[in-house]
Structure formats: C-alpha cells, structure tokens
Amino acid sequence: MSKITLLIIALFASAVLFAQNENGNINTAAKMLESDKKLNIGGYGQLDYNQPLEKDVYKNGVLDVHRMVLLFGYKFNERTNFITEIEFEHVNEAYVEQAFLNYKINKWLNFRGGLMLIPMGITNEYHEPTTFNGVNRPMVDTKIIPTTWRELGAGFTGSFNEISLKYQAYVVNGFNGYNGTAQINGNDAFRKARQKGIKSYISSPNFTTKVDYYGIRSLNIGGSLYVGNTQSTIYNSISRSDAALVAKADSSILKMTMTALDAKYSHHGLQLKGQLVYAALNYTEAYNTFAKNANTNKGIGSAMMGYYFEVGYNVFQQTKIEESELIPFIRYEKYNTQHKTDGVTLKNDLYDNTLIVTGLGWKITPGAIVKADIEFAKNAASDKFAKTLNFGIGVWF
C-alpha cells in the first residue's frame, strides 16, 4: 500500500512540474447549467459485451444494453435551473438518477436541492462512458463508492475562481442500513444500501462535501468527505423510554466516515488518474451480530479501503487528427471491504481484491467511443487471475 501511494504521489508531483495545458472536469449537468438555452436535452449510453476467459471451461459471454440515459435541463431565468436525469439500465430497469433545482445567488454561492449525486471521488460525478477508460467503471467506484450514488438533500455549491477552488456541501439522507433486513455486508459493501430517492426514509441526516483545486494547469485535485449514520426503520415510531427497543435500533445502524483523495492530470496526450478512498465504520460488531453476519463470510468490516492508479496516452496527439483519440491504457486497482474487522467478525480473503485492466479506447469524435480491454482479477484466497475480455460502445451528447 505505501509503495503504491508513494508512486502515485511521485508521478503526480512530476506531472505538476511540467504541466502546461488546462484540464477541467465537466459532466452533462454542468454543461446544462452553463448553457444559455432555455431547454437543454442531453444523454449518454453504453452497450457492453463481457466474455469470461477460462482455459478448460467454456462460459457464455454477456451482451447488454448496460444503460441508456436522457437528461433534461430547463432554465427558468438567469438564476434558476432544474436538471433531471432518467436512466434505463439493462433495458428493463428505470430510475431517476438526478432531479435538482439550482438557484444561483452569486458567483460563489448556489443553493441546490433535490436528488443529487454524492460528491465522492471521480467517477460518481463524471460517469459518462467517454469520460473514463475501460468498458467497466473502476471497482473502487462500484463497491466502496457505489456509483451511481445519489440521495435526496439540499445544500450549497460554488467556485472561487480567484483561488481556483470549487466546493460542494450538502445535507442528505443516509444509506438504508436496515429496513427489515440488513442491507450492508462484506460482499456488496454499500451498493444495495443506496436509497436512490425511492420512498427514501431518514432517521438521521448525513453530511457530505467535496473541494476541488484546479489552480495548476492540467491538474485537478479533489478531496471528499461523507459523515453520518446509516438509516434504520426500527427507529420509526418507537418510544425513547423503551430502552430495549432503542438498544435494538442502535444495533441496526452504523456510524460512518468516508474520505477520498483523487487527482487527474492531462498533458500532451499523457493521461494520469488516481484515487484513494477509506471508509471507517463504528458499531460493526453489534451490526454484524444483529444481522447474523458476524460468524459468516458476509460480515461488514470496520474499515474499507480502495485505490487505483491509471496511465493512458493518446497516440493521435502528435497527428493531424484533431477530434479523434486513440488511447491505450492500464489501470491497477485494489480494494478490500474488510480492510479491518471488529470483535468476532471473521475476515474473508474473498473481499481483498486486486485488478489489472488494460485495453484501448478509440474516441471517434468527442462524443462517441469504442472500447476493448482485458481484465485480470483475483482475491487473496486465490493464486490465479480470472480473465475477462470486454468490448463496449459509448456515446455522450
């Protein structure tokens, strides 16, 4: 861990010394907020083919319309905008992924309320298929940061261009930790606990914030924080004087603090990206006992940790092909949902994972990409990498 972290720091420090080009982050919602049009329509889509590769066993590949998304933005006046995102996953699942009102008070202060993306890491906010290398999103941004992670809430956002800082700060509802059954475990981490604005309930508010620094050309550095409790339906309509029921309710929640540090750099075709996320959880022993996971292989860890580092290069950079990019890349990734455990919770080597993904992306034009990669994945319980060949088509407009 320490060697990888030092390598990331060293490479980004070297990048800063030679930085010469501007590099900003933008997604569809940000584009719409900056637009002068009254009505904006955008979208993105991703079609995948995943083929497991095993030497002695044949496994069917999976073809999937992974997601098709439409976004709409309406500008009421110079200060007031509404943004919504409607997503269809795997053809038969429909979700509202964003739906928020944005009111611009001044240059550095905007009020925002509704269903919003949690500002954690890179991919959760910038998940359009042409914005990341590889067919699949990083697993750190799938398990620990359960992209696409969105919840209902309100808060403020803005930019201080004089000091090159952007900030977001929101109060939101927390993860669904328990609603009759425990929703958080070592295998799925937080993924099944997202409430997604679907009749969300709240037993205690949570706080999330992110600060991005873009004052060094070609480089964007972000720091994220999320603190609060998971939510529990047991707290609903119970008497504060009922000590036994309150104690049971307390066993159904987790107190959590998630932090992340990320950096993106782009210079003359070279692309570097890195991220580190750490989630500290309190009361996991009581939660795992309550959920009957303590002595099974499903117990949640008292800490989760994940990181990745990625290198890519646009080989068309030195050519006269202006709009098209051809990007070979490699990503090293590690994550563990039981980085630490409490009490009698058994550690499971299945949750200590290493991935190496390498492949090629051809951006035919800035809004359309064809991807191919091979993924090598193993956990600490195995001495062999499982291999998967992936192909994908992505669009963003």
Q: Which domain CATH number covers 289? A: 2.40.160
Say if residue 3's pLDDT is above 80.
no
Residue 48 inside a domain? The answer is no
Q: What letter does residue 259 receive in the DSSP assignment?
A: E
What is the pLDDT, as a whole number, of residue 7?
A: 45
Say if residue 20's pLDDT is above 50.
no
Say if residue 25's pLDDT is above 60.
yes
What is the pLDDT, as a whole number, of residue 2?
A: 53
Residue 307 inside a domain? The answer is yes
Q: Give the domain range for residue 325.
A: 2-38+104-355
Say if residue 19's pLDDT is above 50.
no
Give 12's pLDDT tier (boundaries 50, 70, 90): very low
Q: What does the pLDDT average to over 8-14?
A: 46
What is the C-alpha to C-alpha distance for residues 51 and 35, in angstroms, rounded to an integer? 41
Name the average pLDDT for the chain: 91
Phi-psi region of 343 (alpha: psi -120 to 50; beta: other; left: phi over 0): left
Number of domains in the chain: 1
The b-or-e profile of 46-71 (16+ CB within 10 A means b, else e) is bbbebeeeeeeeeeeeeeeebbbbeb
What proportions of the chain, in percent to the nearest 5, are helix, strand and coil? 15, 50, 40
Q: What does the pLDDT average to over 301-328?
A: 93
Which residue matches tokens 């889509």?
A: 45
- Angle ∠(54,189,29) on CA atoms, nearest 5: 95
Residue 67 inside a domain? The answer is no
Token pair in block for residue 63: 């073809």
Q: What does the pLDDT average to over 346-359?
A: 95
What is the pLDDT, as a whole number, of residue 292?
A: 80
What is the pLDDT, as a whole number, of residue 295?
A: 60
Say if residue 204's pLDDT is above 60.
yes
Residue 216 inside a domain? The answer is yes
Residue 71 inside a domain? The answer is no
Residue of 275, 154, 187, 290 lying closest to 230 (CA atoms): 290
Residue 247 inside a domain? The answer is yes
Give 24's pLDDT tier (boundaries 50, 70, 90): low
Judge whether 362 and 326 are in contact, CB under 8 Å: yes
pTM of the entire predicted model: 0.90
Give 17's pLDDT tier (boundaries 50, 70, 90): very low
Residue 291 inside a domain? The answer is yes
Say if residue 247's pLDDT is above 90.
no
What is the pLDDT, as a whole number, of residue 259?
A: 98
What is the C-alpha to C-alpha distance for residues 265 and 272, in angstroms, rounded to an integer? 5
Say if residue 31's pLDDT is above 80.
yes
Token pair in block for residue 5: 């972290």
What is the pLDDT, as a whole number, of residue 322?
A: 76
Kindly report, residue by residue over 264-309, the tens digit of the pLDDT.
999 999 999 999 999 999 999 999 988 887 566 788 999 999 999 9
Residue 367 inside a domain? The answer is no
